[in-house]
Amino acid sequence: MNRTSVARFQPWEPEHESTPKSTAEKTRASYQSEKEEILISDTDDPNEGTSQSWRNTATSVPDTSSNMTAVRSTVNPLYSTYTQLYAPIAIDEDEDGSQDFNVVPISADPAKEAVDTSISAAHIIENLADAIDHNTVSRFNITCTNVWDGAVRGFRRSTFCEKSDLLVRFTDDAGSVEEGIDAGGPRREFLTLLMSFLQSRPIFEGPPQSRYLVYNAAAIREDEYFMAGKMIAVSIVHGGPGPHFLSRDLVNHIAGQPSFCAHVTDVTDDEIGRALSEIELAHSLKSLQDVLLKHSSMLQTAGCFRHVSSVEEKHTVVAEYLTWYTIGRNHSVIERFKDGLASLNFLDALCQHPSVLAPVLCHTDKRLTSVEVERLFLPQLSPAGSNRRTTETVALSFWADYLMDCEEQGPVSLEELFMFITGLKTEPPAGMTPHPCVTFSQETIYPMANTITLPLLGTYASFKANMDFGIQNSPGFGCLGNGKRKGVEHHHCNIAFWSFINV
């Protein structure tokens, strides 16, 4: 069915007119000679004066330019008044004469349009990671006893580039160095430890699982806010964990979202916390006015000291103070933190997909399950029918039972097991690439890390005992309690795994 789009203008009557009726009638009469139907085609010359917003409103129609009168918009002193009285309406006309009316908003802000949240965090981060140049590296020399110091040196090095791969080398207390190109495990362990150390830095305050930024003069001099933002962006995009400790209100503010739901318990200053609690507990208007006057100096600092006429206004006063306390007074350092978070375009992605990426930064109660870990690691089995295949299937059943024991009551938790294998406490936002797998070995009675290599033992009791011993004596990614590790290149997965040295 052929359809033609026609833009007409319909008068809009203000609800309360302040202009005398006679004046308004004269004004409208002056427009009557200029009003006419405008037929718009997408084949019009773009250099013509037709309003661009009308052109975008019209739909495509067959070329009828030979029968069309080009209408050039002219700017006149009455134009602003004209646009206030008339709003464009798109009318679709069918050949049978029926019309469909669709009101077109005069001003549409594309930035406020709903963002498609069907995309996953892993897909977003995968796109951001395309900027990484795997032919260059930025080096980090880390000791387990002082991860933060080594990280700061690495990030401040003049040769550091967030778009380069990270080459991480751990040294133990005896001074031995783990040689070899980092293809996954050590890098992820370093980033996991870095996010843990970052949580305790003095630039953050608040509950452990809901931290917000605070002004710190020493951190300003060291530009630590910028560095913290950069560390978080680099960790996430390079396959490490997110911080999982930032306040939801802080993340919403950074992402440009209006939501704010801070609580008095977020305030670490005891005196301020008590004052806000007194305001919240006021039971009458007189008691509320008295307590506001009592704490007037504190409230005036935040600009929320006011006259109240209802006891219910106490909630507004407390909310305004909390907004200033967590966001307003720390505006300058938040902006610097955002500058660092913009590394690898992570801040832009966060603002575009806040509901998808915010959970990467904030605390979540979701924990690993045995089903998820079993699904994540694919077994590499010998050919069917072989004697080794039979032994491997027994070990695989032991592995499944061991995962359930870790989830339920085992001395080793799933998080500790996952850290031993991958260098992470949970699956990272970017996902595991390449996909990890389970292999089997008769060379050792202990597990070997990344990819997980299971010992082939006769009973589940001995299997479980050796798994527990190996992991409990491994403070990090696949290392014994004495800090000794041995690097072995696993070509199948293109990632390194670390096996125990039996000493």
Contacts of residue 461, defined as CB under 8 A and 6 or more positions apart, other chains included, come to: none
Q: Residue 368 is which amino acid?
A: L
pLDDT tens-digit readout, 293-310: 999 999 999 999 999 999
Alpha-carbon distance 482 to 176, whole Å? 12
Hey, what CATH class is 370-498 in? alpha beta
Alpha-carbon distance 400 to 25, whole Å? 84
Burial class (CB in 10 A: 0-12, 13-18, 19+), 98: exposed
φ, ψ of residue 183 in degrees (nearest 5): -115, 20
Helix H, strand E, coil C: the string for 339-353 is HHHCHHHHHHHHHHC
Residue extents of the structural domains in the chain: 123-256+331-361, 264-330, 370-498
Q: What is the pLDDT of residue 306?
A: 92
Using alpha carbons, list the distances in angstroms from residue 490 to 183, 453, 467, 494.
10, 11, 21, 6
Three-state secondary structure call for residue 241 = coil
Q: What is the pLDDT of residue 292?
A: 96
Architecture of domain 123-256+331-361: Alpha-Beta Complex (3.90)
Q: What is the pLDDT of residue 76?
A: 47
Q: What is the pLDDT of residue 144?
A: 81
Alpha-carbon distance 429 to 296, whole Å? 46
What is the length of the chain? 503
Q: What is the pLDDT of residue 98?
A: 47
Q: Tens-digit pLDDT profile for the chain (503 aa)?
A: 444 444 444 444 444 444 444 444 544 444 444 444 444 444 444 444 444 443 344 444 444 444 444 433 444 444 444 344 334 444 444 444 544 434 333 333 434 434 455 789 999 999 999 999 999 999 999 988 889 999 999 999 999 999 999 999 888 645 555 544 445 678 998 999 999 999 999 999 999 999 999 999 999 999 999 999 999 999 999 999 999 999 999 999 999 998 888 899 889 899 999 999 999 999 999 999 999 999 999 999 999 999 999 999 999 999 999 999 999 999 999 999 999 999 999 999 999 999 999 999 999 888 889 999 898 888 989 999 898 999 999 999 999 999 999 998 778 899 888 888 888 888 888 887 777 888 888 777 767 655 678 888 889 899 888 888 888 876 554 443 333 333 333 322 322 323 332 22
Q: How many helices (H) and strands (E) are present in the chain, helices listed first?
A: 20, 13
| Pair 234, 344: CB distance under 8 Å | yes
Supply the DSSP symbol for 76: -
Q: Residue 169 is which amino acid?
A: R
Contacts of residue 123, defined as CB under 8 A and 6 or more positions apart, other chains included, come to: none
pLDDT tens-digit readout, 63-122: 444 444 443 344 444 444 434 433 444 444 444 454 443 433 333 343 443 445 578 999
Using alpha carbons, list the distances in angstroms from residue 25 to 12, 31, 88, 243, 450.
14, 10, 21, 65, 82
Burial class (CB in 10 A: 0-12, 13-18, 19+), 235: buried
Q: What is the pLDDT of residue 178?
A: 56
The sign of the torsion formed by the CA atoms of 357, 360, 366, 371 equals positive
Q: What is the pLDDT of residue 475?
A: 53
